[in-house]
Amino acid sequence: MANRRSLKKDLNWLTEEVISDCLIYMDFNQVKDEKPLAAIINQMIVKRDELIGKINKPTTKMEAREVKKMYNEMVKDLFETTNNCFESLSKLPRK
């Protein structure tokens, strides 16, 4: 099982990757309507904040199996959200 620090680092790293890819897309394609990019960035930031809150939740009264299951679900949710954001970004029109 991963520790909280590495989960937070991975979470922040993936969030930064999505945001930087959106900003690079904006720079290279000279986007006039930034709403779709803002929605992608907002979705990732909201998910990051939600997962950081779950990671910071005390787990001292939980069994090890429950904690492991909770963290595995968080990782799965993180990967799904990140993948959805990258797919949304790749579907945007290019000029």
Amino acid code (one letter) for 13 = W
Identify the pLDDT of residue 2. 63
- As a whole number, the mean pLDDT across the chain is 90
Phi, psi dihedral angles at 30 (to 5 degrees): 45, 65
Task: Show the 3-state SS of 21-65.
Answer: HHHHHHHHHCCCCCHHHHHHHHHHHHHHHHHHHHHCCCCCCCCHH
Q: Is the pLDDT of residue 1 over 60?
A: no
Between 72 and 59, residue with greater pLDDT: 72
**Residue of 94, 6, 87 whose CA lies nearest to 43:** 87
Identify the pLDDT of residue 61. 85
Q: What is the pLDDT of residues 21-58, one digit of tens each?
A: 999 999 888 878 889 999 999 999 999 999 999 988 88
Residues 6+ apart with CB under 8 A from 78: 10, 11, 14, 47, 51
